[in-house]
Structure formats: C-alpha cells, structure tokens
Amino acid sequence: MIIRKAKGTDANELKTLYFEYLTHFPPKEEQDMSMWQSLLEKFEKDENMHLLVAEEDGKVVSSVQMAIIEGLTHNVRPFAVIENVVTHADYRNRGLASALLEKASEIAKERRCYKVFLETGSNKESTLNFYRNNGFAIDEKHSCLKRL
C-alpha cells in the first residue's frame, strides 16, 4: 500500500470512488474532468488541503480529504476537518481507510491542530464503530448542515 497526496492524474479513479462508493446520488450531468484535474493539482500544492489516497495494485482504492483551517482560538492554533472517507468495495477491511485517517491525524499534529473533526453522513452503526475504533468520539460535538 502506498499513501500519498492525490495528483491530477488521479481524477478518473477518484471520480469512480466518489460516485460508485461514496454518494448515493451521483450527479446526472457529465463531469468536467479537466476541472477535477486542475483542482487536484491545486490541492497537491496547498499545505491546508490534503486529499490523501491509498494506492494498491497500481490504482487509487481509498481516499480521505482533510482541510486545515487557521483559527484565532486555542492560542492561534488551527483545526482540521475530515470528510469523504471512501474505500472501493473490493478493498475494504484491509486497513486502508484506517491508515489514511492515521496519516491525516499525523499531518494535523504536525501542523499544530488542536482538534480534528470527522464529518460523516452515515448513521450505520458499523460505520460509526469504524470511526470510534480509529479514535473519533461520536456525538461529542454536533454539526449543523445547511444545504445551499
């Protein structure tokens, strides 16, 4: 397994991961893959955006996205937010997502983050237990969502 930041060339594999395994409602419109590629190239250089991937068998099979947000509280320390944790169905239960979450946590510590939020849309007990087993407290803090 190789863990690394996503690159522009990963766009198609990430699209497959997101639309087949992450969201229940993939967009109907055709995706502009040049925009995906451009954004991934931007993320690659951005020290506050980490789209991490696990690569196995020469392909991207798991991903975690983390944003580091600068803040004025906690002695002017940033915090991190993780979303879009996804693993290809054929590669689950191999520790890939756990390894990505651990890498994201290491990056957050290196950047002096005082906390890491993990956002999930799942209420499945197995998913919540997965996050608990990876050190995340469930229901310690609440998120409120406003769709735009």
Average pLDDT, the chain: 93
Residue in 52, 110, 51, 119 with CA at minimum distance from that of residue 82: 119
Long-range residue pairs from 92-99, CB within 8 A, at least 24 positions apart, any chain: 94/1, 94/56, 96/1, 96/54, 96/56, 96/61, 96/62, 97/54, 97/62, 97/64, 97/130, 98/130, 98/133, 98/134, 99/1, 99/3, 99/54
Per-residue pLDDT, averaged over 42-68, amounts to 96
- Per-residue H/E/C for 61-99: EEEEEEEEECCCHHHHCCEEEEEEEEECHHHCCCCHHHH
**pLDDT for 62:** 97
Q: For the structural domain made of 2-133, what CATH number should be given?
A: 3.40.630.30
**pLDDT for 24:** 73
Weakest mean pLDDT among 17-26, 101-110, 121-130, 132-141: 17-26
Percent of the chain residues topping a pLDDT of 90 = 80
Per-residue pLDDT, averaged over 97-116, amounts to 98
Spell out the domain ranges in the chain: 2-133
pTM for the predicted model, two decimal places? 0.92
